[in-house]
């Protein structure tokens, strides 16, 4: 797997790659999941700060543990110029079975469905 980014966090089969230099330094974070059969990592989703702007550097710091992800934007202007912001994501907050697509396996397609539900607010 080829990954381009500056900051990595891994927990179990979830990998987050922070890319703070993306799109005029506004930044992004790429979520990858390991395929349980092949062990290969595949990108499942990309996060971009909803209130982000050029120079924020979202994805400057990343952490994932116990169903939660923290992503930093160290130059965001939330509390003043370049004061920084931390975004928290609850990755386990969706109350639904893990086999989202009913295939009988928990696989990459289920993770993608989970991310889509998460982004929609479950």
- Tens-binned pLDDT, residue by residue, of the chain (122 aa): 555 678 888 888 888 899 888 878 888 888 887 877 788 888 877 877 878 888 888 888 898 887 778 888 888 877 888 888 888 877 664 333 455 565 555 667 767 777 777 677 65
The model's pTM: 0.66
- pLDDT number for residue 98: 57
Domain ranges of the chain: 7-119
C-alpha distances out from residue 8 to 18, 55, 70, Å: 6, 20, 12
Query: What is the separation of C-alpha 33 from the centre of its chain, rounded to a whole number of angstroms?
Result: 10
- pLDDT number for residue 93: 42
Query: What's the rounded Cα separation, in Å, for the pair 28 and 22?
Result: 6
- pLDDT number for residue 110: 67
- pLDDT number for residue 95: 33
- pLDDT number for residue 96: 35
Long-range contacts, 72-76 (Cβ 8 Å, 24+): 72/18, 73/20, 73/27, 73/49, 74/20, 75/25, 76/49, 76/51, 76/52
- pLDDT number for residue 112: 78
């Amino acid at each position: 797997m080829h990954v381009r980014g500056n900051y990595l966090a891994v927990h179990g089969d979830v990998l987050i790659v922070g890319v703070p230099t993306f799109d005029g330094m506004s930044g992004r974070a790429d979520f990858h999941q390991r395929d349980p059969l092949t062990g290969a990592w595949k990108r499942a989703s990309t996060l971009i700060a909803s209130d982000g702007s050029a120079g924020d550097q979202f994805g400057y710091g990343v952490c994932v543990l116990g169903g939660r992800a923290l992503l930093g934007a160290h130059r965001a202007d939330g509390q003043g110029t370049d004061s920084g912001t931390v975004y928290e994501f609850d990755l386990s907050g969706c109350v639904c079975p893990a086999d989202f697509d009913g295939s009988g396996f928990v696989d990459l397609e289920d993770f993608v469905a989970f991310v889509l539900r998460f982004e929609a607010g479950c």
